[in-house]
Structures are given as C-alpha cells and as structure tokens.
Amino acid sequence: MNMPGSPYLEERPSGLLTWPLLMPILLTVFLLEGLVGTWVWFTFPSYRIIVYVILGIDLTILIIFFIVTTRQSGENLE
C-alpha cells in the first residue's frame, strides 16, 4: 500500500535503499560504533586514535551520503 504522493506506483524498485529501510541500518551501525568507541576510549586509552579514525570515516560517509541524496540529475532542470 502506497502513501498519497508516493513516487512508487506499484512497488518499491529493486535495490533502492529508501529512508524507511536505510535509517534503521544507519542508526544501528552508528549506535554500535558509539558503544565500541566508548569502550575503546575508556578501556584502552592508548588506542584512542581508533576512535578518531572511526569518527572520521563516519563523517566522510555522512558527507558523501548527503551529496548523493541531494544531487540533482538530468539535463533540463529548469
């Protein structure tokens, strides 16, 4: 069943990660990384660089995801 104004006429296209599917995946990954990062930060202070690397990777992925989802494609965008 589609909601009014849905861009999908019959069913969701195969292979498309839409927000309802993508958000639980992203939230689970970031929550898990947060727990592991907190554990590493307090248990192994000499390995805090790992937390910084994880945060850098997350920031890079979020920036790429933002660019990909807000990019407009097509020839005639007027």
Which residue segment(s) compose the domain that 46 sits in? 19-69
Q: Are 53 and 36 in contact (CB under 8 A)?
A: no
Q: What is the pTM (predicted TM-score) of this model?
A: 0.57
The mean pLDDT of the chain is 77
- The mean per-residue pLDDT over the stretch 36-51 comes to 92
Q: Is residue 7 part of a domain?
A: no
Residue 43 has pLDDT above 80, yes or no: yes
Token pair, residue 4, equals 């009014």
- The mean per-residue pLDDT over the stretch 12-17 comes to 57
Nearest to 58 by CA among 30, 38, 37: 30
Q: How many domains does the chain have?
A: 1
Q: Is residue 49 part of a domain?
A: yes
Residue 39 has pLDDT above 90, yes or no: yes
Distance of alpha carbon 74 from alpha carbon 64, whole angstroms: 19
Distance of alpha carbon 37 from alpha carbon 48, whole angstroms: 8
Q: Is residue 76 part of a domain?
A: no
